[in-house]
Amino acid sequence: MQLTVLLLVLAALTAAGYLLGRSTAVCRARGRLAALHSVPAYHGLYVALWAGLPAFLLFLVWMAAQGWIVMQLTLAALPDRLTGVDAQALSLLKADILNLAAGINTGRRPDPALLEAAARHNRLMDLGQWMLLALGAATATAGLLAARSRITTALRARNKVERVANVFLVVCSLVAILTTVGIVLSLLFEAMRFFAAYPPLDFLFGLHWSPQTAIRADQVGSSGSFGAIPLFAGTLLITAIAMLVAAPIGLLSAIYLSEYASRRVRATLKPVLEILAGIPTVVYGFFAALTMAPFVREVGTALGLSVSSESALAAGVVMGVMIIPFVSSLSDDVINAVPQSLRDGSYGLGATKSETIKQVVIPAALPGVVAAVMLAVSRAIGETMIVTMAAGLSANLTANPLQSVTTVTTQIATLLVGDQEFDSPKTLSAFGLGLVLFIVTLALNVAALRVVQKYREKYD
Amino acid sequence: MTDIAERHAAITTTAPNARWHGAAFEARLRRRYAAERRFRLAGLAAVALAALVLVLLLGSIAGKGWTAFQQTQILLEIDFDAAEIDPQGTRDPAVLAKANTMKLIRDTLAAQFPEATTRAERRQLSDLLSSGAPFELNRMLVADPSLVGSKQAVWLTASANVDQFIKGHIPRDVPAAERKVNDLQIRAIDALTAKGALTKAFNTTLFTAGDSRYPEQAGIGGAIVGSLLTLVVCLGLSVPIGVAAAVYLEEFAPKNRWTDVIEVNINNLAAVPSIIFGLLGLAVFLNVFGMPRSAPLVGGFVLALMTLPVIIIASRVAMKAVPPSIREAALGIGASRLQVVLHHVLPLAMPGILTGIIIGTARALGETAPLLMIGMIAFIVDIPQGFTDSATVLPVQIFMWADSPERAFVERTSAAILVLLGFLILMNGLAVFLRKKFERRW
C-alpha cells in the first residue's frame, strides 16, 4: 500500500518539478528567454531529475535491504534456544517466520515465540514501509526545492541533464556484460558445489548416468551416478541427425532462392522459411512427440525393425526441420556476399549456372557456409523443448537412431523442474551440465562469428 | 602446370572445329545441361520439402485442434426446488453457493431416464455431465436468487467423454469394454440428441478458464493472462535498456577495446541457448535475490535478458542506416549530440527499431525452456491477478497439456497452439506491415 502511495507521490513530485522548473526559469529570465543558457524545458527536466532520481534510488536500496534488516532484528529478539542452531535449521526458522507473517499456517501448532516473532516481523515491516514513505517524500521534496533554488539564467541545465542521460546510456549498455558475468558466475559457482560432491573427471568421462540420489542416509542402492558420456553421445546423435536433415536442405534452398528463383518466386517462397523459423519450439516438440514419433515407429515396425516410441530419429528429424531456415538464411547472406564479378568470370568461360555455383560460388563462400553450419550445430545442441518432449529420459549409450537416447538439455530441464532441495548433487548436476553446454556453444559461436567476420572483410 | 600444358597441346593438335562439333560434343553438352536441370530441381525440391513439412505441421495441428473450439452441452429441465436448495428461505448467497445442486441434476436425469434403476446406472447418467456442472448451477443461483423455486431449462457442460464421443473421437462400434462411454450412456446421448437437448456450442471455457484436471473445464485464459503479464515486464525492461544501449554503442561509444568487448559479448549473448538463461534466473533471481517462484515478474526478467541482444542488434542496424548527413546538419545548427539522437536519429530509425522489438517479443512469447527453470510450470487454476502471483504462460501450458494422454487434452493442446500461432502471426504481420509502410531508402 505504502509503496504504491510512495511511487505515486514520486511521480507527482517529478511532474511538479518539471513544471515548476520550467516556469521558474521563464520567471528568472524576466521576459528575455534568450538570456537563459538552456531552453526552459531543460530547467524543468533538471528539477524533475533532482526530485525523482535520489528518492527512487533510495527506494531501490531500501527495498533490497529492508527484508534482511527486519529479519535480523526479528531474530535478535528471539530466545537463544531457537536461534542457536546450524545454518540449515536457521533458514528453516526464517521460512517459518515468513510463512506465519504472511498468514500461512504450516499445519502444526506454532511455537508462541515464533508467533510473536511473526507479529514483530510484520510490525517492523510496516514501520519500515512508513519510514520509507516519509523519507522518500522528504528526499524528493528537498531535492525539488534545492534544485529550484539553484535556477539562474547562467545555470547550464542542458549539460547537467545530458550528463545524467549519458550515465544512463552507459549503464544500459553494461547490462549485457552483467548478464554474461551473471551467467558465468552462477554456472561456475553452482558447478563448483557439484564438483565438490562429485569428482569432475567421473562426471566428464563416466559411462553411467542415473541421477537418483538417496533421500535418507540409510537408503540402499541409489547413491546417484553422474557419468555424462551417455548424455553427450545422445546429444551428438540427435544433433547429427538434425544436421543431416538441415544442412543439405537449408543449403540447397538458399542456393535455389538466391541464384535461381525469380523475384516473384522468391517473394512467395521465402516467407515459408520465415514462418518455419517463427514457430515456437514447443510446437515442434508437440509435432515430434505426437505425429513424427508414431509415424517413425509405424514405418519401422512395417519394415520389421524395433523402434522405440521415443526414438532419436523422430526428435532429430524435427529438430532438423526447425534448423532449416537458420542454415538457409545464414547461407543466403554468405552466397549474396560473393561478388558478381566471380560469377561473371565463370559464365564468360562458358560454365553453366550449376557449374558456376558448384565450382566458383560455393568454394568462395565455403568459410561462411561452414560458419553457418557451426552456428546451426550450436543451436541444435542447445535446443531444449523438442528433445524434452520427444526424446527419452533413459541414458542409453547407443549409436542406433531408432533407440531412445537422452540429451544434456533434457536432463537439465527434468532435473530442475519441480520443487527440489537445492543442495543435493542431483539438482546441482544440472548446473554442471549447463556449464558444459555453455562452454561448448560459446566456443562454436565465437569460432563461427570470427570466421564470418574474417570472410566479410575479404570481399568488402 | 604440366596438366595445363598437356591440355593446351591437345587443343592445338586436334582440328579446331572437332572439339565444338560432332556427336561427342553434343553428348557432353546434353550431359552438362542435364546436370544443370538436376541441380536446379534439387534446389526446388529442397524448398518444396520445407514447404511440405510446414503444411504437414500446421495441417496436423489444425486437424487435431479445431474441434476444441466447440464444446458439447446438454439441456436439462432443472427444478430448483426451494426445499432442497434453500430450506430456510434466506436466499443467502453463502447458502446458495453451497447448495446441493448435484442432487437436482441427478433427480432430473432420473426422471428423464427411468430405465436407469440401480445406483451405478444413475451414477453413469450423471457422468454424462461435467463434474463442474453443479458449480455452474450454484453460480447461476448466486447471480439470480429468484431462480429458487422455479423450473428452468439450463444448458450444462457435458463431460469430456461425451464431448469426444459426439466429435467422433470415441468410436461407437467397438466392444463396450474398449470405449469410455457405455451402452446406457450412448442410449441416453442418442435420446438427448433426438430431442435437440444436446448440441455443440462455441467453447468459451477454453478462453476464460484456468487449468483443470478435467479437460472440459480446462482453459488457456490463465495462461494468456500470465503471458501478457510476463511480456509487460519483459518489454518494460528490455525496450528502454535495449534502445539506450544501442544508442550508446552506435552514437556515443568511443571505438576502443572496451566497446569491442561489449559488442562481441552482445553477439554471443544472442546465441546462448535459452535454457542457460533459465539457469541464470534460477541461480540469481530466485536463489540469491529470493524472488518468488513461478511469478511473471521473474519470467519477465529472464525473457528481458534474452530479448535484449535482439533489440540492441536490430536498433543498431536501424540507426546505422540513418545517413550521417542528417546528424551533421543537426550538429551544424547547434544541436547537442543527445539532441541529434533524440530529435532526428531515433525518430528516423523508429520503424526498424519497432520491427526488432516486435520480432524479439514474438520470440519471447514462444519461449518455454527458461520459464520451466524458474518454476512457471505449475498447475494454476486461478487466473493470476498481479506480477507476483503464481502463473504459467501459453507455451508452458501447451507443454504441460502435451503430457496428458487424454484425447480431449490433445485436442485442447492443439487449440492452444493455434491460439499461440495466431498471436505470433499477428505480431509478425505487424512487423512486416511496419517495414513496408515506413521503409525508407536513403
Chain A: nearest CA to B392, how far in angstroms? 13
- Let me know if A94 is exposed, middle or buried by CB neighbors in 10 A (0-12, 13-18, 19+): middle
Is residue B1 very low, low, confident or very high in pLDDT (cuts 50, 70, 90)? very low
C-alpha separations of B106 from B80, B100, B103, B136 in Å: 12, 11, 5, 15
| % of chain B with per-residue pLDDT over 70 | 95
List, for residues B95-113, the tens digit of each pLDDT value: 888 888 888 888 888 888 8
Mark yes or no for CB contact B43/A256 under 8 Å. yes
Average pLDDT over residues A267-271: 86
Give chain B's mean pLDDT.
Answer: 87
- Measured distance CA(B230)–CA(B306) in Å, rounded: 13
Per the listing, cell 514474438 goes with B362
Chain A residues lying within 8 Å of B298, measured CB to CB: none
B415 closest CA partner among A283, A284, A388, A321: A283
Other beta carbons within 10 Å of B224: 20
Which of A252, A289, A422 lies closest to B43 in CB terms?
Answer: A252
The beta strands (E) that lie in A232-271 are given as none
**B16 pLDDT above the threshold of 80:** no
pLDDT at res. B316:
93
**A225, A197 contact by CB (below 8 A):** no
Which of B42, B268, B424 lies closest to A446 in CB terms?
Answer: B268
- Measured distance CA(B82)–CA(B79) in Å, rounded: 9
Q: Which chain B residue's Cα is nearest to A353?
A: B36
Whether the CA torsion A206, A209, A215, A219 is positive or negative: it is negative
Interface test with A, best of B276, B361, B432, B433 (most A CBs within 10 A): B276
- Measured distance CA(A231)–CA(A206) in Å, rounded: 10
Highest mean pLDDT among A198-202, A296-300, A453-457: A296-300
pLDDT at res. B142:
85
Chain A residues lying within 8 Å of B53, measured CB to CB: 276, 321
Q: Which chain B residue's Cα is nearest to A288?
A: B57
Query: Within an 8 Å CB–CB cutoff, is residue B51 touching chain A?
Result: yes
Cβ burial A412-448 (10 Å sphere, 16+ → b, else e): bbebbeeeeeeebbbbbbbbbbbbbbbebbbebbbeb
Amino acid, res. A345: G
List, for residues A38-65, the tens digit of each pLDDT value: 888 899 999 999 998 999 999 889 887 8
> If contacts are CB pairs under 8 Å, which of residues 335-374 in chain B contact chain A?
336, 338, 362, 365-369, 372-373
Mark yes or no for CB contact A412/B410 under 8 Å. no
Q: Which chain B residue's Cα is nearest to A173?
A: B245
Average pLDDT over residues A15-24: 91
Q: Which chain A residue's Cα is nearest to B422?
A: A279
We find that the CATH architecture of domain B221-438 is Orthogonal Bundle (1.10)
List, for residues A64-108, the tens digit of each pLDDT value: 788 788 888 888 877 777 776 776 677 777 777 777 777 766 666
pLDDT at res. A288:
93
What is the ipTM, given to two decimal places? 0.88
- Measured distance CA(A443)–CA(A374) in Å, rounded: 10
Amino acid, res. A163: R
Mark yes or no for CB contact B45/A252 under 8 Å. yes
Mark yes or no for CB contact A286/B402 under 8 Å. yes
C-alpha separations of B390 from A422, B227, B234, B371, B376 in Å: 20, 12, 17, 12, 7
A279 closest CA partner among B417, B272, B409: B417
More confident residue, A102 or B152: B152
Mark yes or no for CB contact B368/A168 under 8 Å. no
Q: Which chain A residue's Cα is nearest to B360?
A: A278
Query: Within an 8 Å CB–CB cutoff, is residue B162 touching chain A?
Result: no
DSSP secondary structure letters along A415-456: HHSS---TTSHHHHHHHHHHHHHHHHHHHHHHHHHHHHHHHH
**B8 pLDDT above the threshold of 80:** no
DSSP secondary structure letters along B67-130: GGGEEEEEEEEEE--HHHH-TT----HHHHHHS-HHHHHHHHHHHH-TT--SHHHHHHHHTTB-
Chain B residues lying within 8 Å of A186, measured CB to CB: 279-280, 283-284
Query: Within an 8 Å CB–CB cutoff, is residue B429 touching chain A?
Result: no
**Can you read off the three cell numbers belonging to residue B388?**
507476483
Is residue B338 very low, low, confident or very high in pLDDT (cuts 50, 70, 90)? very high
**B13 pLDDT above the threshold of 60:** no
- Measured distance CA(B99)–CA(B52) in Å, rounded: 56
pLDDT at res. B116:
79
- Measured distance CA(B373)–CA(A46) in Å, rounded: 43
Average pLDDT over residues B20-28: 86
- Measured distance CA(B249)–CA(B345) in Å, rounded: 14
Chain A: nearest CA to B391, how far in angstroms? 14
**A221 pLDDT above the threshold of 60:** no
Mark yes or no for CB contact B402/A438 under 8 Å. no
B30 closest CA partner among B38, B7, B18: B38
Mark yes or no for CB contact B368/A257 under 8 Å. no
Interface test with A, best of B47, B252, B284, B316 (most A CBs within 10 A): B47
Instruction: Output the pTM of the full model.
Output: 0.88
**B177 pLDDT above the threshold of 90:** no
Is residue B381 very low, low, confident or very high in pLDDT (cuts 50, 70, 90)? confident
Chain A: nearest CA to B397, how far in angstroms? 10
Mark yes or no for CB contact A173/B245 under 8 Å. yes
Interface test with A, best of B37, B44, B57, B237 (most A CBs within 10 A): B57
